[in-house]
Amino acid sequence: MGAVAGKVVVVTGGRRGLGAALVDEALARGARKVYSTARSAYADDRPGVVTAELEVRSAESIAALAEAAADAEIVFNNAGVLLPAPLLTGDFERVTTTFDVNVFGPLRIARAFAPVLAANGGGALVNMHSVLSWLAGSGAYGASKAAAWSVTNSLRLELARQNTHVVGVHAGFIDTDMISAIDAPKATPADVATRILDGLEAGATEVLTDEATVAAKAALSGPVERLTFSATR
């Protein structure tokens, strides 16, 4: 993919948390324009930032964004949701919402922006996963991230023909509102964003942002019963 400098970037869920850090990091590296989305309208008066409303469960909302951001060259699929929902006993609507946002949302974005990226030379698609993609015990959220990881790996093959670089990002605990109730060591969004952009610019296909994700990835070759999640890991 090469440098972010001079590129047009889309960050879904860019209003806060890791998304906001990705917007900041893209600007710091010289991105020409950054489209930053949220579920409701908000203002960002920095030169080069264009805010937009986006509902990743809506094909119409995504189509409108793809039309508005027809100059996009890099797309960060960052928007996601964490709704506590054990698979057997959790509210089933929470389970389906989790999959709709975390799996089908990024896929909808990829389908809508694939022609845009192709028209602009290929560019890059960066999908946010989690260390929980590989660890059992986090209910619908972890299962959705495992499915998203698989989707990304298949998209990498399908998008290769149009020269689109696909990156999958795995992260452990990040200090955001999403996991504020979890008492565990957390990386800062800025540090994670830096690692993601470093990986993208280096041409990585997968970015493991911390020691927890490196250890979990290495454990995939071992017994499956060892792949369990604990907040005290």
User: pLDDT tens digits, residue range 4-54?
Assistant: 999 999 999 999 999 999 999 999 999 999 999 999 999 999 999 999 999
Cα 29 to the chain's mean position, in Å? 19
Torsion of CA 140, 144, 147, 149, to 10 degrees: -130
Tokens of 12: 């879904």
Asked whether the predicted pLDDT for residue 63 surpasses 90, the reply is yes
Helix, strand and coil percent figures for the chain, each rounded to 5: 45, 15, 40
* Mean pLDDT of the 61-87 span: 97
For 151-171, give the DSSP string. Answer: HHHHHHHHHHTTT-EEEEEE-
Pick the CATH number of 8-226 from 3.40.50.720, 2.60.200.20, 3.30.565.10, 3.90.230.10: 3.40.50.720
Please state, in angstroms and as integers, the Cα–Cα distance from residue 138 to each residue in 89, 144, 178, 185, following that order: 13, 10, 14, 18
Asked whether the predicted pLDDT for residue 100 surpasses 50, the reply is yes
pLDDT at 231: 47
Tokens of 154: 């298949």
Question: In sequence order, which residues have a C-beta less than 8 Å from that of residue 96 and are 6 or more positions away?
Answer: none
List, for residues 151-180, the tens digit of each pLDDT value: 999 999 999 999 999 999 999 877 666 655
pLDDT at 230: 56
**Nearest CA-CA partner of 75 in 31, 111, 124, 108:** 124
**This prediction's pTM:** 0.92
With contact defined as beta carbons under 8 Å apart, do 154 and 187 qualify? no
